[in-house]
Structure 1
């Protein structure tokens, strides 16, 4: 019998972490390695961020990454580009209503391989 698995058992999260580690190595960009470490955390330690926190932390036009779930609590009044592992429909709606854009993490990596100017929100 194999030992208990550590890290995410969700194959999509495992593939995302592998993709981020490869991107970090090939682009010499540590930001993707850090995001991979957040993605690989156990379920109880995963990041959950409300759009209200994005409104407080980010500036107009910033590119932010949420290495967890984005939820729709609070108001968003700034135009942001947001990438997240997962997002609730309400959160997506609020980002789009504010004039922003919601991406998946691989889309953001392909758009900005070096990760310059990307802020991690935890």
Structure 2
């Protein structure tokens, strides 16, 4: 009986890790796509964060999607000196299989060279 209990706990831990990496991949893909979108020549940079939030809302449940915030900005790349569009998403997701409120933090940054600007 003790072995069965430990196996169930191990299974729940593995599922929790899988859910975390799924959520992180959704956020990372959303930030990357939004940065590519915001790097387009005629697109205002503020639309990058909004687009990332839309994709996150489609890929995660409502509570987790609302807990993740995205910001977009234009920065200068240190190596090349060129303008890049940056989308950064940060937040916490809920722990599904634990009664303890453990912080599962997601922090993703994506940058893309801006088009048509010198």
TM range (shorter): under 0.3
Q: Which has the higher contact order (CA 8 A, sep 6+)?
A: 2
From the CA coordinates, give the structure whose radius of gyration is larger.
2
More strand by share: 2
Q: TM-score, normalised by structure 2?
A: 0.24
Structure with greater helix percent: 2
